[in-house]
Chain A
Amino acid sequence: MQIRETLRSTYPVILLAVVVAICVTILTGVGNITLPRIEAMEKQKVEKMLSEMFPRMTGYTFEDEIYSVYSGDDTVGHAFIAIGKGYGGNINILVGLEDEQTIKGIIVVSHTETPGLGSLITEDFFTDQFTSVTIDDMALRRDGGQIDAITGATISSRAVAEAVRVTAWDKVELLRGNEAGT
């Protein structure tokens, strides 16, 4: 009688625990199938963008938040993610470095800018301006640089230019430091 009483009062909790256990098991199972695939797709995305930027790429490594791109045994360039403070939030930009002075090009990875205005920063007509430009010239024309802003989207355009220039300088410093260290 005693046992039945305790069972009856703890039944709700036991049932809850059983339900949780079943759910967690199912999720772990599905997780094991999907998570590796998700990771692989992420890697593929990065690879695709890097090879778009460095057509002769055969391989790359990722260390200290900088991608080093190789073609055979030679280092063809470097790349890194710059984060700009845009109008609607963060803008993630993949920046390619040709050498210590020059930007190879940029790809806008993600943003939340205004559709029709700031969102145009992903278009070729804007990003092509960043191909083979010296880091110092990475600023809007009105700020002393070489980049034409998008009409009606000055803040978005400036955010991209500033992020690219400032982060590029940081990464060049880092690379120089690494070289000096080795």
Chain B
Amino acid sequence: MSTSKKEFVKGLITTNPVFVLLLGLCPALAVSTSIDNALGMTLAVFIVLLGANVIIAAIRGIVPSITRIPIFIVIIATLVTLVNLLFNAFLPDLHATLGIYLPLVVVNCIVLGRAEAFASKNPMVRSIADALGMTVGFMIAMLMISFIRQMLGTGEMSVFGFHIFSLPVLIDSPMAIFILPPGGFLIMGLLLALLRWKGVLKL
């Protein structure tokens, strides 16, 4: 398998950013109250992560060691501000739901971590593959968490306004606790334990 493909697959399971590296937990738990929000956040993270990896891989040759962290931060912060502005102007509902977690993508450990650990030391194509892999891994984790939280917390599954199905008992009295903060912790913890138990993740 070519190294680029390897980097991509790495992001999915072996070094899944959320479940293995435990990075980017803040948005993962805060925004995973519904599938729509999860996908929205994934989009934001994707744009920033891809942009950052591409730019940093491109200029990695000319960036001296001393100022590399400040420069990376400025680049990532600019990307996040761009996404913030564009979402506010063109996707206002999503922007309102993501709230402070959208600006917080700038300190999201996934983004800065990949830029520092990978993109600054690897060529463009591999860095792109890494960004894609990490994003897909992030998306899978987010979807798993938000699917469960939305189902138990609202009793129905609807994506972008399209109603898919409702659960018989839960639709009338959903377990709201799951879309509240403690519920987020609970689902994440149980999911993590389940994935480890089933051997999907190493212990």
Contacts and interface: CB of A to CB of B under 8 A. Distances in A.
Q: Are A and B in contact, CB atoms below 8 Å, in the complex?
A: yes
Interface of A: 11-13, 15-16, 19-20, 23, 26-27, 30-31, 33-35, 37-38, 41, 114-117
Contacts of B125: none
B54 to A, nearest CB: 15
Interface string B72-107: 001101100110011011001000000000000000
Contact of B71 (A19, A30, A35, A38): A19
Q: Range of interface residues on chain B?
A: 20 to 34
Q: Counting chain A CB atoms within 10 Å of each CB, which of B66, B67, B154, B176 scores highest?
A: B67
A30 B75 contact: no
A60 to B, nearest CB: 22
Interface of B: 62-64, 66-67, 70-71, 74-75, 77-78, 81-82, 85-86, 88-89, 92, 153-154, 174, 176, 179-180
Contacts of A15: 62-64, 67, 71
B78 A31 contact: no
A41 B87 CA distance: 13
A42 to B, nearest CB: 9
Interface of A is mostly: helix
Contacts of A20: 74
A26 B89 contact: no
Contact of B176 (A11, A34, A41, A114): A114
Interface of B is mostly: helix
Nearest to B82: A30
Contact of B64 (A11, A27, A33, A34): A11
Nearest to B87: A34
Contact of B78 (A12, A23, A33, A37): A23
Contacts of B154: 115
A15 B60 CA distance: 12
Contacts of B70: 16
Given A11-B64, A15-B64, A26 B82 contact: yes
B81 A16 contact: no
B179 A115 contact: yes
A116 B85 contact: no
Contact of B92 (A12, A30, A41, A114): A41
Nearest to A116: B176
Contacts of B78: 23, 26-27
